[in-house]
Amino acid sequence: MTLVDGLRSVLPDVAVRDPSEPDSPAWHGATPEFIASPSSTEDVSRLLVWAAQEGLGVLPVASGSHADPVSNGRFVALDASLLSGIEEYEPADLTITAGAGTRFATVDDALRGNGQWAPFDPPAARGRSMGGLVSEAAHGSLWAGYGALKNHVLGATVVTGDGRVLRLGGKVVKNVAGYDLLRSVVGGRGRLCVLTSVCLRAFPLPPQERVLLMSGTSVAELIESALAVGTAPVLPASIVVAGPLDVLDGRAALVVRLHGAESTVDADQATLETHVGRPFDRVIDVRDGAARILSQLQDLGAAEERCIEISVLPSQLSGLVSCAADVGLGPMVVDSYAGRIRIGGADLGVDPVGTLRAAAEKAGGALRIVRWNGADSPTSTPQSAVTAMLSERLESIFDPGGVLWPARS
């Protein structure tokens, strides 16, 4: 009996397809034995139990655009795309629950139809699944004004590596007594469990959104202005420096987004210009042509064959940006409020990235390999001993048999 026959004898309703089919995700590393597409939480549970009995690993995917690479061994891909659809939406309560395979675009469209939104703008957000966004804790630069994604995931249904179904959190903000397991799942990158449903907090759409733009020849030239914006007595929705940008003929730009009532936005802009010591080059209402700029800022470098991310204290950004420029890395996007740098490019080299990693660690930060399409991949900054110990402990509780090991590679 083949593996597929064995699975179908246990789960006859689960769709199975070959990983080499044209619409399959791009596999970075080893290829799965097959792709299984359960349509319910219960089927996910039974699939994980079966995989453990067969000695197979399981790699959860939905859109597949951010699937973690698997270096070796036999595994199956768990395609969550059938776990989709909006399960419950309460506009008055500002909460929405959707299956983990639901595209963020579906959720966003439903919210905007009621004058609400989910202010999270990681790269290619609309095409990504809710489970993928939550597993990666991907929130983008709007973190500055709205906080991290993990603060707005109110609840989730998950299946542990040994098949247990857990319903974590709920539909209100304060609903936890004791250790908050939900926080461990958000950003867990599939190491702990398979997400099947997510409850998210929504926000009213801002009455006014203004985009302030300051251009320059390079990202390094604009970093100090970005840091000055971050210390002003106002709180922008986001503060980003990026370049080079095609939409600005290859120049770099500091882009600041302001949300609120028109009078508030006017006052905040005046305060920022006084604090920075110069006016912005362009002031654009988001409805009057800012979409192209914001779209390129959001996605720049993220879809490249090689992409890295650096996290460091904002006060150390200038040195890291200068180091990246010195070793010839780019293009880059800098979220100056979060202290995060993203650099993407097909020609990123191991030695320059190694130099930048050393500089990041010397500054008290870390470098993470987001994507790397070669066998010569440099290493990410290792976890601290305490973080590694906590991660191992959580993995032993959520996934005692190591079924979800492919995501740990």
- What does the pLDDT look like over 108-135, one tens digit per residue? 999 999 999 999 899 999 999 999 999 9
Banded pLDDT at 315 (limits 50, 70, 90): very high
User: Is residue 390 predicted with pLDDT exceeding 50?
Assistant: yes
Asked if 161 and 402 count as a contact pair (C-beta separation under 8 A), the reply is: yes
pLDDT tens digits, residue range 11-53?
A: 888 888 888 877 777 676 778 888 999 999 999 999 999 999 9
**Residues in a beta bridge with 195:** 158
Token code pair at residue 244 = 């080079």
DSSP 81: T
| Contact partners, residue 398, CB within 8 Å, separation at least 6 | 160, 161, 191, 192, 193
Banded pLDDT at 66 (limits 50, 70, 90): low
Token code pair at residue 136 = 């990666």
Question: What integer pLDDT is reported at residue 178 of this predicted model?
Answer: 42
CB atoms within 10 A of CB 251: 16
Domains, the chain, with CATH or none: 3-81 (3.30.43.10), 86-204 (3.30.465.10), 209-299 (3.30.70), 306-372 (3.30.70.100)
Mean pLDDT of the chain: 88
SS3 122: coil
* Single-letter residue type at 264: T
| Count of residues in the chain | 409
Cα–Cα dist 128/125, whole Å: 5
Q: Which residue is listed with tokens 């020609």?
A: 347
Average pLDDT over residues 178-185: 74
DSSP 63: S
| Contact partners, residue 309, CB within 8 Å, separation at least 6 | 340, 341, 342, 343, 367, 368, 370
Q: Strands 209-216 and 251-259, how do they pair?
A: antiparallel
Helical pair 41-54 and 3-10, crossing angle rounded to 10 deg: 140
Question: What integer pLDDT is reported at residue 73 of this predicted model?
Answer: 73
User: Is residue 72 predicted with pLDDT exceeding 70?
Assistant: no
- Top pLDDT among 361 and 295 is at 361
Average pLDDT over residues 245-252: 89
**Residues in a beta bridge with 367:** 310
Portion of the chain with pLDDT greater than 70, in percent: 92
Banded pLDDT at 154 (limits 50, 70, 90): very high
Question: What integer pLDDT is reported at residue 80 of this predicted model?
Answer: 92
Asked if 52 and 162 count as a contact pair (C-beta separation under 8 A), the reply is: yes
Burial 191-224 (b: 16+ CB within 10 A, else e): bbbbbbbbbbbbbeebebbbbbbbbbebbbbbbe
Question: What integer pLDDT is reported at residue 176 of this predicted model?
Answer: 47
**Residues in a beta bridge with 332:** 243, 343
How many whole angstroms from its chain centre is CA 90?
25
User: Is residue 160 predicted with pLDDT exceeding 60?
Assistant: yes
Q: Strands 86-90 and 238-245, how do they pair?
A: unpaired
Give the lowest-confidence range in 112-121, 153-162, 306-315, 365-374: 365-374
CA distances 367 to 14, 256, 272, 332, Å, are 39, 25, 31, 14
| Contact partners, residue 90, CB within 8 Å, separation at least 6 | 96, 171
For the chain, the C-alpha Rg in angstroms (whole number) is 22
Continuous segment of H or E residues that includes residue 344: strand 340-344
Continuous segment of H or E residues that includes residue 111: helix 104-112
How many whole angstroms from its chain centre is CA 294?
17
pLDDT tens digits, residue range 198-227?
A: 999 999 999 999 999 999 999 999 999 999
| Contact partners, residue 349, CB within 8 Å, separation at least 6 | none
Token code pair at residue 105 = 């675009």
CA distances 102 to 126, 150, 318, 323, Å, are 10, 18, 39, 40
